[in-house]
A and B are shown apart, each in its own frame.
Chain A
Amino acid sequence: MIKNIITYQLKDLLRSKWILFYGAFFYLITEILLQFSGNESKSVIGILNMCLILVPVISIIYGSIYVYNSREFIELMLTQPIKRFSLYVGLYFGLAIPMALMFVLGVGIPLVIFNPSMFFLYFYLLISGTLITFSYIGIAFLISFLLDDKAKGIGACFLFWMLTAIFYDGLIMFLIWKFEEYPLEVPIIISAILNPIDSARVMVMLKLDIAALLGYTGAVFEKFFGTAMGLVISISSLLFYIITSFYLGLKVFLRKDF
């Protein structure tokens, strides 16, 4: 049953102009950054920053709109002999797979064409974008199934993105400045693990191995765990985010009144 739902969701979304535009947009921006940035590391940093800002906001807002617009379809499906679990899994992967696919194709194709020998470096960039897509779609589902009002739901999703993408770093910097006399390594590692965008950034930066661009969080990660362990921890924290948001969203969906 899950396979059927995912198949039909994929058929629907892969024909959507918005999803195709999403892939084409990443393709174009990646191509521009590669052609005009001067060196490859700078290009990858530029692409990474673009991914860390755009992938979460697009995933969470589009995910939320998708849930609200699918309400009548969800109701129809729930009157069929289908378990709520199967429908939730079908809807989630039916959206997350095409969005992640468009990101991977949009960013991956120009990168691989530009320099195939650097594939392992790009691989981590693509993995980070994919994991962020799954995380933020999970959060979009959780918020949108919690809040019945579409405007409130989309607003809450946008606020969550603002908190994790913009305010979070400012808050951490403020705390570092305020408590600079205290040992802050452990709180900083915890703060990075708690924010999926920070985890994704650290993951790619560790692989890039450019000390100047690691930032304070990345440097602490590298010092504490070394590159390999740091990578494992940052990937694990992203997976934890995906699993937790998926599980909480599912719990809400199983009890929800439609």
Chain B
Amino acid sequence: MITINNLTKKFGRKRVLNNVSLEIPSGKIVAIAGPNGSGKTTLIKSILGLVKFHTGTVLINDVNISEDISYRNLIGYMPQIAKYPENLTVNEIISLIYKIRRPSVNSSLTDLIAKFNIGGYLDFQLKNLSGGTRQKVSAILSFMVDSQILILDEPTTGLDPVSSAKLKELIREYKLLGKTVIIISHIMSEVSEIADEIIYILDGDILIHKNIEVFIKENNSSNLEAAINFAVSNN
């Protein structure tokens, strides 16, 4: 479980996160959405420890992340842009993460490689891979670790439909194992398809944090996009 209390982050004079408090329970798929510059990436980066926040606390399973880096053993992260040292081979980048996370690497690495169909690329240097194949490598790096929390930033960007479907299947499997999945996405149809809850951030404040089905019904809308549009317009 992730608990965020009164989180504030400023860049210069601009407040990017405004006293944000929320709880993300285990065993849920939670989508974070919002316009560009709304603070969603900063919120995720605060959880990942990439950003030093000014006030507030982030607790993961009741452990304050500012005091201990061992919580990162619980997290798998798939960045939006898969850009790694370009002269390393796919095998080498996997083995680097393997060495760092050895105790928590799960046994499904071979299955993941087969699932994303990159067995033939293992000896290729990363610079010689297409954007989509790099994204698949990125997915493998995040799913190969047996983490309690998975954070995916625009995970299906650049993926072909088959790989995208496989990734969504994996995300659902993770949920069934009682793990927490956080997804940043701009594609609302995708969010409704796989997520249980939506967090909508606007100008550093959490405007919406609800179960998706309930939220759509409450706003008498046919889909999530229309419901968000309605809620934002009436705010």
Within 8 A of B (CB), among A70-86: 70-73, 75-76, 78-83
Write the residues of chain A forming the contact surface with B, with a CB cutoff of 8 angstroms.
1, 4, 8-9, 11-13, 15-16, 69-73, 75-76, 78-83, 255, 257-258
Residue of B nearest to A1 (CB): B100
Collect the chain B residues with CB atoms within 8 Å of residue A81's CB: 69-70, 72-73, 100-101
> Among B28-36, B46-54, B155-163, B216-224, which stretch is in contact with chain A?
B46-54
Q: Mark B9-24, 1 if CB is under 8 A from A, else 0.
A: 0010000000000000
A76→B79 contact, CB < 8 A: yes
Other than A78-B49, A81-B72, give 4 A-B pairs with Cβ distance below 8 A: A8-B92, A11-B87, A72-B81, A78-B50
Q: Contact partner of B45 among A15, A71, A72, A258, CB < 8 A?
A: A258
Please give, as numbers and ranges, the residues of chain B lying within 8 Å of A11 by CB-CB distance.
Answer: 87-88, 92
Given A76-B77, A80-B97, residue A257 in contact with residue B50 (CB < 8 A): yes
Residues of chain B with a CB closer than 8 A to A1's CB: 100
Chain B residues 48-102 with CB under 8 Å of chain A are 48-52, 69-70, 72-73, 75, 77, 79, 81-88, 92, 96-97, 99-101
Asked whether, in the complex, the Cβ of B85 is within 8 Å of the Cβ of A12, the reply is yes
Q: Are B88 and A79 in contact (CB under 8 A)?
A: no
Known: A8-B92, A72-B79, A258-B45. A79 touches B50 (CB 8 A): yes
> How long is the Cα–Cα vector from A130 to B77 in the complex, in angstroms?
38
Give the docked Cα–Cα distance between A82 and B100 (Å): 8
Separation of A73 and B69 alpha carbons in the complex (Å): 18
**CA of A12 to CA of B48, assembled, Å:** 26
Q: Which residues of B contact A76 (CB under 8 A)?
A: 77, 79, 84, 141
In the complex, chain A residues whose CB is within 8 Å of the CB of B88: 8, 11-12
CB pair B86 A80 closer than 8 Å:
no
Give the shortest distance, in Å, between A86 (CB) and chain B (any CB): 10
Closest partner residue, chain B, to A71 (CB atom): B83
A79 with B97: CB separation less than 8 A: no
- Do most interface residues of chain A lie in helix, strand or loop, or is the interface mixed? helix
B74 to chain A, nearest CB (A): 9
Contact across chains for A80 and B101 when beta carbons are under 8 A apart? yes
Report yes or no: A12 in contact with B86, Cβ–Cβ below 8 A: yes
Complex: A172 Cα to B42 Cα, angstroms = 47
Which residue of chain A has its CB nearest to the CB of B70? A81
Q: Provide the bound-state CA to CA distance between A76 and B48, in Å.
A: 10
Name the residue on B nearest A8 (C-beta): B96
- Whether the pair B72, A80 counts as a contact (CB closer than 8 A) is yes
CB-CB under 8 A from B83, the residues of chain A are 69, 71-73
B84 x A73 contact (CB < 8 A): yes
CB-nearest residue of chain A to B100:
A80
Shortest Cβ gap from B46 to chain A (Å): 10
Q: Which residue of B lies closest to A257 (CB)?
A: B51
Contacts of B101 in A (CB 8 A): 80-81
Which of B48, B87, B99, B125 is the one whose CB lies under 8 Å from A78?
A: B48
| Contacting pair B77 A70 (CB below 8 A) | no
What residues on A are CB-neighbors of B85 within 8 Å? 8-9, 12, 70, 73
- The answer to whether A79 touches B87 (Cβ under 8 A) is no
- A255 to B53, alpha carbons, bound, how many Å? 11
Q: Which residue of B lies closest to A19 (CB)?
A: B87
Please state if B72 and A12 are interface contacts (CB–CB under 8 Å).
no
